[in-house]
Structure 1
Amino acid sequence: MDTKFDMNGWRIIKDKLRNKYPDLTDVDLDWGRVSREDLIQNISIKLGKTKKELMDEIDSLEYSS
């Protein structure tokens, strides 16, 4: 899948990520001050995942209820 979430979609995804990974903080998930690429890179580093692994996970979260 090719994840192309926007700011509105990110609000939902970040809540799901926060529920799954309680160590993620509001600062980690704040898209307002960084580029989309930097956001994904920062979260992937914090979680110890590659960017591809994180994007695959976001894909699955984006399409789950």
Structure 2
Amino acid sequence: MSTDFDINKWNSIQMDLKRKYPQLTNADLMWRHETKEDFFKILAVKLKLSRRELEKMIASL
């Protein structure tokens, strides 16, 4: 499953993620990785989800 989203929509996605997972900080959601895969891998570990689960959840936002 490919999770494609426009980086310009990231602010909206961040707000949705923070509402769903209040333990996330602004630093956790700052796009500072070279690839989406790296970012998703780190975020998935933080949320204790598989990368596939995270991609599916973000795609549903």
TM-score, scaled to structure 1: 0.82
Q: 1:58 to 1:42 in 2, by over 3 A?
A: same
What number of residue pairs does the alignment pair up? 60
In 2, the alpha carbon distance for the partners of 1:3 and 1:59 equals 6
**Runs of 5+ unmatched residues, structure 1:** none
Distance, in Å, in 2 between the alignment partners of 1:25 and 1:42 is 13
Query: Between Structure 1 and Structure 2, which shows a larger proportion of helix residues?
Result: 1
Unmatched tracts of structure 2, length 5 or more:
none
> Runs (4+) of structure 1 moved beyond 4 Å?
none
The TM-score with structure 2 as length reference comes to: 0.87
